[in-house]
Structure formats: C-alpha cells, structure tokens
C-alpha cells in the first residue's frame, strides 16, 4: 500500500485521514501522468492507442522508456529505428529553435557584421595637469578600413563566389549519434569565416578588409583624474568588419607624483614646520598650493600636528560621465 495524492484533490476533500491506495493504482496513475503529453506530440490517434496499450504492460513500458515507440511496436533497433525513437525529443528541440535537432537556424551568421575591438593607450600626466585637466594630442595605431578594397577584403575587379564548404550558409553542421539520440552542432564555417562566400584576397589587407594605420587624436582630459583613472572615447578604436561598429578607445591615466604636495582623494596635503614662538604667538607663512605660493595664517596657541584647512584649494571632483 502507498499514500499518494491524485489529481487536484485537496486535503479538505480527502478529510483529515489520508486514503490508502493499491500500488497498482499508483503505478497506473503515474503512467498516465508521465505520458499524458504523448498524444499531443504524436498527433495521431492510431499511434496514441498503440503506445498507451503498450504502456499498460510493465515490461513494454520499460522498453518504451529505453527505446521509444519502436519498442512498443516490436520493431528492431536498426539505424533508422534508433533515429526515429527520439523524434519526439528532437521535435521539441526544433520547436524552440535551439539547433539541437539541427534543422533550424541555418544561415544566421552569413555576412554578419563584426564589431571592432577596443584600443588602449597609456597616458602619463604631471601632478598639476591631472588636477586641472588638459587637452592632449596623442598618436594611436589602430585598424582602419582598407582603401584599396574599400573594406570588402576582396581583390579589386574580382567577384566573390559561394563557399563550397558550407554552400553559402556561413555555417556547417556536425552530427554525433549518442545513446540519447542524434545531436547536431552548428558551427561557423572555417573556410569562409561565416561570410558564406569566398574571394581572391586583397593584396594590401590580405582579405581582412582592414589595415593598421597611425592617427593623431585630440583628447580632452577632465580635471581631477588620478593614477588608475580610465577615460573612454567612443568609436575611436578599431573599425569593424562587414559594416560592424568601431570599438572604443580607453586611455589609462598615470600621474607623476609631486615631490612636495601629496594627494588624498580630492584633498591635497602639505606638511610644514614652524618655530615654537610662532606657534605660541601666531604668524603668517607662505605655503605651496596647486595655484602657486599662498599665505597661510597660523593662529596663536597652535599645537603640534594641528591640521589647518585652506578652502577650495584641493582637487576638483571628477566628472565620471565618460569613465
């Protein structure tokens, strides 16, 4: 005997005492629940009857679990029957366009645009230029469109032909037979690189459609950058292929430390020594700042290690919109 809830029967309908059912009823109930979707998948009344009659027998049900519909109908396990025993599962995968069955999704990468990669540049700044910002001109070596073939990668006055390996689809399918069925994997064609066509490569760019060039770029470095700051300049990286978007230029900042002034986030620190008498009576001294030498008033009775603040003489808060 076993305890099992059936269908949507609630505890209130059963009462406070659970009902006991024969194990044979529980098995049949599980069979009906487990294979309730078979009719919808097979979409054939005759096939549905054959399968359900076979599932009433424990031995045939076990064979169906292992080999599929062919086992219920008494068919042998030939290559075609082995393939058909998994049609139900493959149809499910095809409906989701997951390429597990391998019949859908072909040609998706043909002539697909490829975005350009990002470019990186290390920029060294002095302490003051990092605080106030600066406009710098730099030279960047990056991939740009080939002028000879206009970015197509093909030799001028030649025509592209359909790839013989993939038949112009840009993808190839590899199949593998496993105990769970025939699994198919879609991969980019190695011959045409996913373009679906082959051509005589350009002599200048060797078929890539891009060549490496050096270009001068004017960069506006915002005030307040520090070592480790990263600036992003959109569309200033390597150009894409087949109409893909260009990458970005990332400028990595390195700041040369100042020998006198020390930076602590947006604050600038300076340590000075004064006479004992000046600390008692008070005085005014000259101190270095990022704006040059300025007067600092020291009040009388100042104790050692006292910190005095000069307002608005630190580092501007960095605008992080382009970081």
pLDDT at 109: 45
Mean pLDDT confidence for 184-201? 87
Tell me how far apart the terminal alpha carbons of the chain are, to the nearest angstrom: 69
**Which domains, and CATH codes, for the chain?**
21-85 (no CATH), 116-156+208-257 (2.60.260.20), 262-316 (2.60.260.20)
Residue 77 structure tokens: 């396990």
Task: Examine the pLDDT at 134 and tell me if it is beyond 80.
Answer: yes
Length of the chain: 323
Q: Looking at 12-26, 192-206, 240-254, which range is the least confident one?
A: 12-26
Average pLDDT estimate for 14-31: 47
Alpha helices in 74-151, H assignment, sequence order: 79-84, 87-95, 127-132
More confident of the two residues 25 and 156: 156
What is this structure's pTM? 0.59
pLDDT at 182: 80
**φ, ψ for residue 223, nearest 5 deg:** -70, 145
**What is the pLDDT at residue 261?**
95
- Identify whether the C-beta of residue 282 lies closer than 8 Å to the C-beta of residue 299: yes
Residue entry with tokens 């066509």 = 197
More confident of the two residues 168 and 30: 168
At which residue do the structure tokens 């459609």 appear?
Answer: 209
- The reported pLDDT for the residue numbered 49 is 60
- Of 248, 231, 228, the C-alpha closest to 240 is 248
Q: How confident is the model at residue 55 (pLDDT cuts 50, 70, 90)?
A: low
Residue 110 reports pLDDT greater than 70 = no
pLDDT over 80 (residue 265): yes
């Amino acid at each position: 005997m076993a305890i099992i809830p059936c269908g949507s029967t609630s505890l209130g309908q059963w009462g406070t005492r659970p009902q006991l059912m024969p194990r044979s009823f529980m098995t049949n109930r599980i069979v009906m629940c487990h294979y309730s979707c078979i009719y919808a998948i097979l979409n054939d009344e005759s096939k549905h009857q054959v399968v359900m009659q076979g599932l009433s027998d424990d031995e045939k049900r076990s064979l169906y679990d292992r080999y599929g519909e062919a086992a219920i109908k008494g068919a042998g396990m030939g290559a075609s029957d082995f393939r058909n025993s998994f049609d139900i599962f493959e149809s499910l995968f095809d409906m989701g366009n997951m390429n597990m069955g391998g019949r859908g999704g072909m040609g998706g990468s043909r002539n697909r645009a490829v975005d350009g990669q990002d470019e990186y540049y290390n920029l060294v700044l002095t302490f003051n230029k990092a605080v106030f910002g600066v406009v710098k001109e730099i030279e960047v070596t990056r991939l740009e469109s080939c002028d000879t073939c206009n970015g197509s990668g093909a030799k001028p006055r030649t025509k592209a032909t359909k790839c013989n390996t993939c038949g112009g689809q840009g993808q190839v399918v590899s199949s593998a037979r496993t105990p769970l069925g025939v699994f198919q994997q879609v991969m980019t064609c190695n011959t045409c690189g996913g373009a679906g066509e082959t051509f005589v490569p350009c002599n200048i760019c060797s078929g890539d459609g891009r060549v490496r060039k050096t270009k001068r770029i004017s960069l506006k470095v915002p005030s307040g950058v520090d070592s480790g700051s990263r600036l992003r300049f959109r569309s200033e990286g390597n150009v894409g292929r087949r109409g893909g978007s260009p990458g970005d230029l990332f400028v990595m900042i390195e700041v040369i430390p100042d020998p006198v002034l020390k930076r602590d986030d947006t604050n600038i620190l300076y340590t000075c020594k004064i006479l004992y008498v000046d600390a008692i009576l008070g005085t005014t001294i000259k101190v270095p700042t990022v704006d040059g030498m300025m007067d600092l008033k020291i009040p009388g009775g100042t104790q050692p290690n006292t910190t005095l603040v000069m307002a608005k003489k630190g580092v501007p808060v960095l605008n992080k919109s382009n970081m």
